[in-house]
Amino acid sequence: MAGSVSDYQRVEVSEAKSFCERCMVSVGTKPDHAAALAEVLVCGDYRGHYSHGMNRLEMYVKDIKSGTTVSDKEPVILKELAGSAWVDGNNLLGPWVGKFCIDLAIKKAKEAGIGMVVAKGSNHFGIAGWYSLRCVEAGMIGMAFTNTSPLVVPTRGRKRTMGTNPLSMCAPAANNDQFALDMATSTCAYGKVELNDMKEIPIPKSWGSNAKGQETTSPKEVLTEGGLMPLGGTEECGGYKGYGLAVMVEILCGILGGGNFGPFVRQWKTSTEVANLGQCFIAINTEAFAPGFEGRMSTLLDTCRGLEPAEGETEVLVAGDPEKRHMEKVDKEGGVLYHKNLIRQMGELAKNLGVESMKTKEA
């Protein structure tokens, strides 16, 4: 986390959720839809993914206020087989659609071994990991994918064409351990570029390109005229593999689900069109396969963690470990640290919506 401690204020997790809920309810969101959104957003912050947490709240408020996203319907199953379902999210909040879909996938996996649910008509769903982790809570492997607004410039191109299309894959291991891969298929999430811009610090190489399609370290250039680079960065560094993964996610989401896809998804933040995102949720019941899954998972994870670290490093991690550390720190310190600029923005939002402002503590 960049900056000094005095740049931050602490907010208890329960208060952060409650603040998100009161903002959303104040603009007409159904309480259970608002609670689902608050749960996923604050989970993002709690896990250390500040790019997909409360910093997005204003966008959801705006979408509900303008009617671009609605809250007066429920998701509907359009087609269903033993292990699969196709769902219309009816333009509801992404976390509400996602929760419906992943719970349906888990139910199907209990009966059919695997459950795969694909939605159209959805909206931004926050961190992909939340949905996969719900499967881990049910003792299953979980996968979740979404397409997003075009922000990524394909290898050799200069125009934003693909979304940051995140994917997550989480799996349970023995003794409540887990593998939790949750990542954008761009080198970094767009929100991280926005955060650097807000804090006025340059971005590392391979995060984004300028109007000419060339690598840049200026967050402004990326946000205004360029775009994000696919996972890996330049072609020389394997960026075309990230580009391929983004297309893979798109196939499972917008193409399979019949929603918008690729460059035809609405522009990020500036458009008032309905998003009609495609999303895919998979639950895999490990009991349908070889016995002893969790034990073998633990062996693999512990083997990786037990490796001799490279010179200058202290330990080898597996996916999910950085988030686990972050959650332990938040618990120990009694709340999530938010940058003062975000706290100020949330104060203004509360004032505009006429809701009680968020209770903060000195960091």
Ligand X SMILES: NC(=O)c1ccc[n+]([C@@H]2O[C@H](COP(=O)([O-])OP(=O)(O)OC[C@H]3O[C@@H](n4cnc5c(N)ncnc54)[C@H](O)[C@@H]3O)[C@@H](O)[C@H]2O)c1
Q: Which residues bind ligand X (CB under 6 A)?
A: 49, 51-52, 124-129, 146, 148, 164, 166, 168, 180-184, 188-189, 192, 317-320, 322-323
Give the E-state strand segments of the chain in sequence order: 8-11, 76-81, 84-88, 114-122, 141-146, 167-172, 178-183, 208-209, 215-216, 227-228, 277-284, 336-339, 361-362
The least CB distance from residue 4 to ligand X, in Å, is 22
Cβ–Cβ < 8 Å for 316, 303: no
Q: Which is nearer to ligand X, 49 or 160 (CB)?
A: 49
Strand, helix or coil at 136?
helix
Cβ 320 to ligand X shortest distance, Å: 5
- Return the number of the residue (139 or 322) whose C-beta is nearest ligand X: 322
Query: Shortest Cβ distance from residue 291 to ligand X (Å)?
Result: 27
The whole-angstrom separation of Cα 220 and Cα 207 is 12
Q: How many Å apart are CA 208 and CA 153, to the nearest integer?
A: 9
Contacts of 141 (CB under 8 A, 6+ apart): 135, 169, 170, 171, 172, 283, 284, 286
Tokens of 265: 């998804």
**CA atoms of 184 and 187, how far apart (whole Å):** 7
Cα–Cα distances in angstroms (integers) from residue 236 to residues 146, 148, 215, 247, in the given order: 27, 26, 12, 19
Residue 277 CB, shortest distance to ligand X, in Å, is 8
Nearer to ligand X, 101 or 183 (CB): 183
If the CB atoms of residues 24 and 183 are measured against ligand X, the closer one turns out to be 183
Residue 339 C-beta: closest distance to ligand X, Å: 17
CA proximity to 162, closest of 16, 23, 260: 260
Residue 1 DSSP symbol: -
**N residues, the chain:** 363
Q: Decide whether 178 or 216 has the Cβ nearer to ligand X.
A: 178
**At closest approach, how far in Å is the CB of 184 from ligand X?**
4
Q: Shortest approach of ligand X to residue 212 CB, angstroms?
A: 24
Q: Which is nearer to ligand X, 112 or 327 (CB)?
A: 327
The residue sitting closest to ligand X, measured at its beta carbon, is: 127
Looking at the Cβ atoms of 78 and 327, the one nearer to ligand X is: 327
